[in-house]
Amino acid sequence: MHNVTKAKLLAGETVFGCFLKYRDASLAEVLAYQGWDFFLLDGEHSTLEPRDCENLVRVADLRSVTPLIRVPTNQPHVILRFLDTGAQGVQVPMVNSPAEAERAVRAVKFAPRGNRGLGSTRAADYGQTAPFHEYVKVANAETLLILQVETIEALGEVMDIARTDGVDVVFIGPTDLSVSLGVPGQPQHPRVREATDRIAAQVAQAGKILGALASSADSAREWRQRGARYIVTNLEAILVPGVRRYLEEVRA
């Protein structure tokens, strides 16, 4: 399937996605009607397993929203199981070096670039619609790879991480970065701001796409001004303020 989100990024557009931590397909379907470019199913900080993600990917496919998954760890066998659901890309946490970036690329790409395993899975339409050699070619071209940089260790390696062949987006993980910098839970702390500015500058210099987490519409606009074109928002960041505002107004 054509990866519309990747095509938009390659065309210089900005894309907006929603983090989903819940396995309910009906909730995902309602959200899909709202016009998101992509869903980022959170396999790291939630209880979502590959089976849950497979059903959510079906919903995304049904409503033409690009399904992406944040995997729990940078391990080939883990990444493989999540990609086999039919997801059109993965976001890999805690990438601290070019070697780790290369490991992620090789897990996502089929040979000759990588070593991803091939089978009659949902990702390959169960082998029903095209020969494997055609599927492999399309998958290598269309699958989106996003790497998270979120530690002190990664700060000195951003340029080489971003330049790794096969990496599409470098995403700033603000919460773990704040922890690593000694100011946990303070993404606006000057120390974190200085680090994110350094990351953004190096990603731009490497000619890659910057990704960021936006906590609000204002935050998303700010990140666009800072150069981000892959912007993700937690569902809770939108849902909770809306519910609170509604209850405040009706109870006034």
99-147 confidence digits (pLDDT tens): 999 999 999 999 999 999 999 999 999 999 999 999 999 999 999 999 9
Single-letter amino acid code for the residue at 167: V
Neighbours of 252 (CB within 10 A): 5
DSSP lists the bridge partners of residue 210 as 170, 228
Looking at residue 123, its pLDDT comes to 96
CATH code where residue 234 lies: 3.20.20.60
Host domain of residue 245: 4-250
Q: How many CA atoms lie within 13 A of 51 on its CB side?
A: 0
Give the mean pLDDT of the chain. 97
Catalytic one of 2, 45, 77, 189: 45
45 is catalytic: yes
Total domains, the chain? 1
Is pTM beyond 0.85 here?
yes
**1 pLDDT exceeds 90?**
no
Of the candidates 112, 111, 105, which has an alpha carbon nearest to the alpha carbon of residue 89?
105
